[in-house]
Structure 1
Amino acid sequence: MKIPRTERIARIMWRLTKNPFRSFSLSDIAKGFKVSKTVISDDIEIISKAMKDEGRCNIVIDRGRGGGAYLVPVFDESDRRNFLECLANELSKEERFLPGGLIYYSDIIFNPYYTQWLGWALASMFVDSGADVVMTTEVKGIPIALYVAQGLGLPLAVCRFRNRPSDGPAVALHYPSGTGEVRTMYMGTRNLKKGAKVLIIDDFMRGGSTISGMIMMTREFEASVVGKGVFIASALPEQKAISQYKALLVLEKREGKPHVSVL
């Protein structure tokens, strides 16, 4: 039975949005729906225009012999800023600020509604990074990094602060913290391949020591870092252990009070 065009478009769109950066053969899609490749190409053009107008992603179409289509995450600048400003206002509430210059945001990053858009926002900043794996640390870095990985169609490698037998063999790395103490992180030897191109994602950065530790870990695997993204970066200290990072929000002080702003 022939499937109506509206249903066919909806099903194609579902495949593309659920599998960013995965190329779907136009010929295979056409065969599955029992229509011509030209019909499928027209369907994807409609999807591409709708997604572009929505400002959430672009559909890349390869019209070559092996023609395929895949989704690239995009976040319209106006919508992105509105979303982040609403989030910054929520995070700037006085009851969220904790002793030691910390901020409570666990309810945000463990809420899929917020986290998927935060991941999409960061992913859209690194679509041209050439990364083939996303790296983060446990525990609060995982939710956002997982959505970044999903948005870029990449696997996620997690640095842990405690080695578990279930993780298999692991590399242990000692790195200095911002307070001067030496900490240890572990990376399973099966989680990161030698020579990998790594995109590092973290939830919060003050001095940058944790990200610096992850950079040191990539060297143990002879891997290279192609990008560093952060959800919230603290304005202080000004001198960080790393450079050339991208952050969505900044924690600073205004009139002597903590405040979260959009970068």
Structure 2
Amino acid sequence: MKFRRSERLIDMTNYLLDHPRQLVSLTFFAERYSSAKSSISEDLAIIKETFEERGIGTLQTIAGAAGGVKYSVKISEKAAMPFVTELCQMIASPDRLLPGGYLYMTDILGNPSIVQKAGKIIASAYANTDIDVVMTVATKGIPLAYAVATQLNVPVVIVRRDTKVTEGSTVSINYVSGSTKRIQTMVLSKRSLSEGSKVLIVDDFMKAGGTINGMISMLEEFKAKVAGIAVLVESEEKIEERLINDYLSLVQLENVDEKEKTINVKVGNFFKA
């Protein structure tokens, strides 16, 4: 079957978006569309230009017999800022206040459109970083972790608070919660990580960073490495000690006044990185 150029461009674009950070040979596309490699190269040049102009991503061309093209998500600051600004406005709504100064976030973390957009922006920051696995802790950070992992084309590893029989043998560690100073436990299946894995830690919310610090300790047990740390929201309220310093955030929660029913929010350090 012979494809028209417009059909090739649409199908090729869709294939690349579905296979991020995967090397695709020109031969594969040539055989897929029964087209000459020269025609495929011209099509890829068009897609590359459009991706970069629209702030969608980049196409890396790798020369040689084993070469091809590789798509990586790359969201420009100009493209990301409107979404993050709108996210700040959503989080700042007084209706989110819960007793004790907590915020209701389930609607945001349960919205596929919001989570996918946030995942693309976070993944964009690590598109050129060598990452084998995305790690998060159960439960609210799971959708965001999968959104990021989808764009980086890597698996997700979930640290849990208790053991599950379906995960086999586990490694268990104790860690100190950064905000409450309580000793807590987290467990991870021994089959989840290979020694030397490069791990991107993703979480929905960070206050002092105790949970993330616990995940770092867990990685040490597996002799794995931290490739990066990213959170959707970080709290900037006064705390005794921030346990994590090197991280990216999309939103900064400055303070919550339960009495006045106000939530002050600003864009995170992602745009300062």
For the aligned pair, the TM-score class normalised by the smaller chain equals: over 0.9
Aligned to 2:215: 214
SS in 2 for 1:86: helix
SS for the counterpart of 1:193 is: coil
* Structure 2 residue matching 1:24: 3-state secondary structure: coil
Map of 1:241 onto structure 2: 243
Within 1, Cα distance between the matches of 2:25 and 2:129?
A: 24
Confirm or deny: 8 A CA contact 1:206 1:237 kept in the other structure.
no
Unaligned runs of 5+ in 1: none
Judge conservation of contact 1:207–1:236 (CA < 8 Å) in 2: no
Task: Kindly indicate whether the alpha-carbon contact (under 8 Å) linking 2:197 and 2:225 is maintained by their aligned counterparts in 1.
Answer: yes
1:19 CA displacement:
1.2
Aligned residues: 263
- The equivalent of 2:80 in structure 1 is 80
1:254 offset after TM fit, Å? 7.9
| CA displacement at 1:158 relative to structure 2 | 0.6
> Quick one: percent identity of the two aligned structures?
35
Instruction: Report how far residue 61 of structure 1 moved.
Output: 1.6
The answer for the alignment partner of 2:187 in structure 1 is 186
The SS at the match of 1:87 is helix
Shift of 1:106: 1.1
Paired residues of 1:207 and 1:237 also in contact (CA < 8 A): no
Secondary structure of 2:184's aligned partner: strand
Question: 1:41-70 deviations in whole A, cap 9, x for unaligned?
Answer: 111111111111111111112232222111
Normalised to the residue count of structure 1, the TM-score between the two structures is 0.96
Q: What are the superposed Cα offsets for residues 107-148 of structure 1, whole Å, 9 maximum, x if unpaired? A: 111111000010011111122332211110011111011111
State the shift of 1:30 in Å: 0.5
CA distance in 2, matches of 1:99, 1:261: 22
Deviations 1:148-175 (A, max 9, x none): 1111111111101121101111111111
Where do 1:103-252 residues align within 5 Å? 103-178=103-178, 179-238=180-239, 239-252=241-254
TM-aligned CA deviation for residue 75 of structure 1: 1.0
| Paired amino acid for 1:260 | V
Alignment-derived partner of residue 30 in structure 2: 30
How much has 1:180 moved relative to structure 2? 2.0
Q: CA deviation at 1:258?
A: 2.1
- The letter of the residue matching 1:212 is N
Tell me the distance in 2 between the aligned counterparts of 1:176 and 1:254: 24
- Does the CA contact (< 8 Å) of 1:27 and 1:67 recur in 2? no
Aligned partner letter, 1:236? E
Aligned partners of 1:67 and 1:244: how far apart in 2?
Answer: 35
1:260 is aligned to 265
Residues 67-104 of structure 1: CA distance to partner in whole angstroms, max 9, x if unpaired? Answer: 21111111121121111001111110101122333211
Letter in structure 2 aligned against 1:182: I
Moved more, 233-242 or 194-203: 233-242
Q: Is the 8 A contact 2:134 2:145 kept in 1?
A: yes
Give the match for residue 271 of structure 2. none
* Cα distance in 1 between the residues matched to 2:177 and 2:201: 18
Equivalent AA in structure 1 for residue 182 of structure 2: E
Give the secondary-structure state (helix, strand or coil) at the position aligned to 2:226. Answer: strand
Aligned equivalents of 1:186, 1:260: Cα separation in 2:
33
The residue type equivalent to 1:248 in the other structure is: L
CA distance in 2, matches of 1:100, 1:208: 19
Q: In the TM superposition, what is the alpha-carbon distance from 1:37 to its structure 2 partner? A: 1.1
Secondary structure of 2:238's aligned partner: coil
2:199 and 2:67 mapped to 1: Cα distance?
29
Taking structure 2 as the reference length, what is the TM-score of the superposition? 0.92
* Distance (whole Å) between structure 2 residues aligned to residue 154 and residue 202 of structure 1: 16
